[in-house]
Structure 1
């Protein structure tokens, strides 16, 4: 169980990596449409396949708020993941990821990562400087603190801002099996060789037995301690103006993970249910 909860926690991070399209060929990063607004809240149940049984072992909550950062109007987007209290005595997880996104450019201004995993503790703060194309990183662990600088490219996104920006992708321009490259900043490194594959449309039934018309795509995953080589994550987002991630599934080194939207509130337009 200890290993399973650790894998679950790391998946909480990767469910934020739904999509992050490579926009470096565009003259700017501003989307024509913003599919979210102040007050949006989505709560997910995270289930782990234990043997032949699916067990709800964690929850994740994503919110959007209007905010001000360094005198600029912005969106504050936040994702929190945690293990359920029943599993805390095995391995307690309380993780937080947040980003301040400029309303003018839709680029991240500041990124926050707070990690508590058992006895492990980690804080990351990123400050983005687009004039010099660098990100200043402040890292704090139990052993102490340090500062780093990494080079970034045009339209670079942290994992939180990439989720919300990429919900504005116009999928009508893609055909089945079209590939879209991605740039993702993760743990002081830019991954440029990731991609998503557009699959098509599919109807998904959520945990409340509501049927939702969804867009289906796959995201290739970073091989490591959780995911297998050449594996992908199946993602289903609502086929409407909101582009809410409804359901996610992926195989991991031991078992599988699936994520259901449990509660959706404050969307830009009401979610369209088919029943």
Structure 2
């Protein structure tokens, strides 16, 4: 390699590394959530209460990978008759960078009948790697730049300005889950007004696109209504199953950055 080619290569590499570092230290404007937020949901199958879910941001900021992070807990449990048929006690946890809205650590403790799973994933965004640990076994996966986990992907979607998203447009978020990389895909379907236990409010309609499987019905079996304000919290969801459907409604909330307008 002659001197001119060497200089060109060094300049090109420097530009690439500078751009990559910028991407890793990105700053996403966040007007949607903060520490202390807590939202609870009721899941029902027809008139039967099936489960309860809760999404909660800790009141204090945690530090992971030397970065300040929101500690987010998402829990779900079956109740009533469903608890006798299929007992579920699941906890999902993500430590999300307060500036970049990217995950630094993801944990899940799954208890579903006799099935158990306890996994921890550390994200090294400098090397674009996800290191998964489970039962004294550690695996390292190469992942795309700015990868998300399930929870951080949801919180990233809350930062999106849907006024700049066209109706019918599909938003894609690269996501790492269970050792695989896929795109979390959500279609924006416009605005609406719905009624909740707190009153009526304006919402945005979203359709998460789920790969076909034996449990759900069709490619878009889920409909999600989120508040049409800066919070963008889910207020209602419907899931079409092969047999019947599940509905989720907001049960309680506190600690939002902005009070929801009901009418």
- The answer to whether 1:72 aligns with 2:63 is no
Shift of 1:195: 2.4
- The answer to whether 1:55 aligns with 2:45 is no
* Matching residue of 1:135: 130
Distance 2:219 2:82 in 1: 30
Q: 1:119 aligns with which of 108, 114, 119?
A: 114
- The answer to whether 1:146 aligns with 2:137 is yes
Question: Which consecutive residues of structure 2, in runs of 5 or more, have no partner in the other structure?
Answer: 1-19
Cα shift readout 1:200-253 (whole Å, capped 9, x = no counterpart): 1111111x1511110112111132342234233211110111111111112122
Pairs within 5 Å for 1:241-256: 241-256=230-245
* Matching residue of 1:165: 156
Relative distance call for 1:231 and 1:104 in structure 2 (3 A) is: closer
Pairs within 5 Å for 1:1-275: 27=23, 29-48=26-45, 53-65=46-58, 66-70=60-64, 71-140=66-135, 145-192=136-183, 194-206=184-196, 208-274=197-263
Distance 2:82 2:238 in 1: 21
Shift of 1:178: 1.8
Shift of 1:67: 2.4
Higher relative contact order (Cα pairs below 8 Å, separated by 6+ residues): 1
When the two structures are aligned, how many residues end up with a matched partner? Answer: 240
- Counterpart of 1:226 in 2: which secondary structure? coil
Native 8 Å contact 2:41 2:250 kept in 1? yes
The runs of at least 4 aligned residues of structure 1 exceeding 3 Å deviation read 26-29
**Which is greater in Rg?**
2
TM-score (norm 1): 0.81
TM-score (norm 2): 0.85
Question: Which consecutive residues of structure 1, in runs of 5 or more, have no partner in the other structure?
Answer: 1-23
Distance 1:186 1:73 in 2: 23
